[in-house]
Amino acid sequence: MPPRLRLCTQCLHRLHNKRTSLPKYLSTASAITPAPPIHQTISSPPPLARFPPTQPPSHKPPEFRKSQLHRQYTSLLRSTPLLLLFQHNNLKATEWMSIRRELHSALQKTDETLSTDLAPGIKVQAIQAGIFESALLVTEYYHPSQQLNPTASTPHPTDPSIQSSATVANTTPNPADPTLTHSLSTHAHTLVAPHKKSHPLRTLLSGPLAILSFPTVSPQHMRAALSILSPKAPTFAAPTRRANPGYHDASVQAGLQKLLLLGARVEGRVFDTEGTRWVGGIEGGLDGLRGQLVQMLGSVGAGVTGALESVGRTLWVTVEGRRGMLEEEGRGKAGDGKEDS
Amino acid sequence: MITKHITEVTTRFNPFKKPSKTCRVFLAHLPANARTMMKINTTVLTRDSQEPSFLKLKFKDGKEMQLDTEKLKINDVVEEVDRHSRTLNRKADLEGN
């Protein structure tokens, strides 16, 4: 049968040429449509979260200053092993400024002698006691990695009990969602609540407070800071007027009189003022402490070997003495025998 | 709190005990230039000391006030101090100073 659509020979030729010139991949595209992987047919991927991963829903509205301070304090507490607590009684801005200046210069001097670079990381800041307490509890008692951490739910695609309109965890911005484990979550808040009254630092956290935070435990830097902020001779003697005239400025001295050392938190442990001074007074820093420990252990070892040796030695001495006695007796008897003969 | 009639403040407390809060907040109530106007002696006790905290005040008219901060809260202390300070205020007003 002739073609119904009558085409001129030229057009037919062109059409034919076009068809042959089609690229290969287009002509074969429909042939290798990949089958969905088996795990996708059994379970569907978790639905997309309705909030950015960096801004999970929090227990308190995140735009509040309180929430941001809580975040700031938790991150500070997690990153600083050494923390000094001060009470500040109505310090003026100029006094704060001059105290910070003196502190920074003293710490820089320590840095130069020890050839470290810690001075920029050591800072005094006034804190909000209530929020700091909450942040402290979260950092000490809330460990999301150790607890049961339910992941975002993965509903079965063919499960008839799940309605298509059912809400799935992790999709709605609900702060009570158990999948949220950040320190501002409701989960953290409820887990930490029972510990509220038992923390040893709790009684300190009231009134106007300031903290001095160190990025590492460095007794030398601590000593330099204490000799500026809370001087006490002889270990933490304040710099003399000749050595550091700036320290004896009226603004610095007036400010320091109103600054009161209360305690410290060193690697999770709470110290009072005496304990703080003891930590600051460790000679030679952590290396010095290690040296002392090695020396102590060495002397203990020597003592033990001496004690163990002494038993054998006394036995040897006794036996030797007895042998000498017997030999002398034998010699004496031999001499007697000779005399007799 | 009226602080202009106070000449001396002596306080002692253990910050790791709850009653110390009264003393500490009282110190925070004093104005920024308090050290130029009055003498302030503060003793911070060690953590395991059992000594009770106290607050002792001296006024311009020579009156001494010993406050038991183990029982009194900061509001009670402020009330006590203000009660005497107001009489001193009134006296000063009557004298025309």
Could you tell me if residue A41 is inside a domain?
no
Which chain A residue is nearest to residue B45, measuring alpha carbons?
A273
pLDDT value, residue A155: 57
- pLDDT tier for residue A57 given thresholds of 50, 70 and 90: confident
B86's CB contacts (< 8 A; 6+ apart) are B2
Q: What is the distance between the alpha carbons of residues A19 and B48, in angstroms, rounded to a whole number?
A: 95
* Residue A19 pLDDT > 60: no
pLDDT value, residue A60: 79
Which chain A residues have a beta carbon less than 8 Å from that of B77?
none
Of A19-23, A84-88, A117-121, which gets the smallest average pLDDT? A19-23
Q: What is the distance between the alpha carbons of residues A80 and A84, in angstroms, rounded to a whole number?
A: 11
Cis, peptide link before residue A234, omega less than 30° from 0? yes
pLDDT value, residue A212: 95
Structure tokens at A242: 């000749």
Output the DSSP codes for B19-79: THHHHHHHHHHS-TTHHHHSEEEEEEPPTT--PPPEEEEEETTS-EEEE-TTT--HHHHHH
**CATH for A205:** 3.30.70.1730
By Cβ distance, the residue of B15, B32, B46 closest to A204 is B15
Of A81-85, A310-314, B49-53, which gets the smallest average pLDDT? A310-314
Parallel, antiparallel, or unpaired for β A269-271 and A259-266? antiparallel
Better-predicted residue by pLDDT, B41 or A154: B41
Q: What is the pLDDT of residues A61-101, one digit of tens each?
A: 888 899 999 999 999 999 999 999 999 999 999 999 999 99
Domain residues for A224?
A: 65-147+172-286
Could you tell me if residue A263 is inside a domain?
yes
Cβ–Cβ contact A260 with B under 8 A: yes
pLDDT value, residue A221: 92
Which chain A residues have a beta carbon less than 8 Å from that of B38?
none
Q: Say which residue the tokens 């183990």 belong to.
A: B70
Structure tokens at A270: 């709470």
Could you tell me if residue A337 is inside a domain?
no
pLDDT value, residue A341: 46
B59's CB contacts (< 8 A; 6+ apart) are B5, B6, B7, B65, B84, B85, B88
Which chain B residues have a beta carbon less than 8 Å from that of A272?
15-16, 46-47
Q: What is the 3-state secondary structure (H, E, C) of A140-208?
A: HHCCCCCCCCCCCCCCCCCCCCCCCCCCCCCCCCCCCCCCCCCCCCHHHHHHHHHHCCCCCCHHHCCCC
Q: Write the ipTM.
A: 0.91
Of A272, A276, A278, A279, which to mutate for an interface test with B (greatest number of B Cβ within 10 Å)?
A272
Of A154, A155, A149, A153, nearest to A180 (Cα)? A149
Better-predicted residue by pLDDT, A42 or A154: A42
* Residue A25 pLDDT > 90: no
Residue A109 to residues A106, A120, A248, Cα–Cα distance (Å)? 5, 12, 18
Q: What is the mean pLDDT of the segment spanning B19-48?
A: 93
Q: What is the pLDDT of residues B57-97, one digit of tens each?
A: 999 999 999 999 999 999 999 999 999 999 999 999 999 86
pLDDT above 90: percentage of residues in chain A = 39
Q: What is the distance between the alpha carbons of residues B61 and A71, in angstroms, rounded to a whole number?
A: 51
Better-predicted residue by pLDDT, A169 or B27: B27
Which chain B residue is nearest to residue A93, measuring alpha carbons?
B32
Cβ–Cβ contact A210 with B under 8 A: no
Taking all residues of chain A, what is their mean pLDDT, rounded to a whole number?
A: 82
Parallel, antiparallel, or unpaired for β B54-59 and A82-88? unpaired
- pLDDT tier for residue A151 given thresholds of 50, 70 and 90: low
Domain count, chain A: 1
* Residue A24 pLDDT > 70: no
**Inter-residue contact A191 to A141 (CB < 8 Å):** yes
- pLDDT tier for residue A37 given thresholds of 50, 70 and 90: confident
Of A23-27, A170-174, A219-223, A313-317, which gets the smallest average pLDDT? A23-27
Could you tell me if residue A137 is inside a domain?
yes
CATH number of B6-95: 3.40.30.10
**Inter-residue contact A277 to A232 (CB < 8 Å):** yes
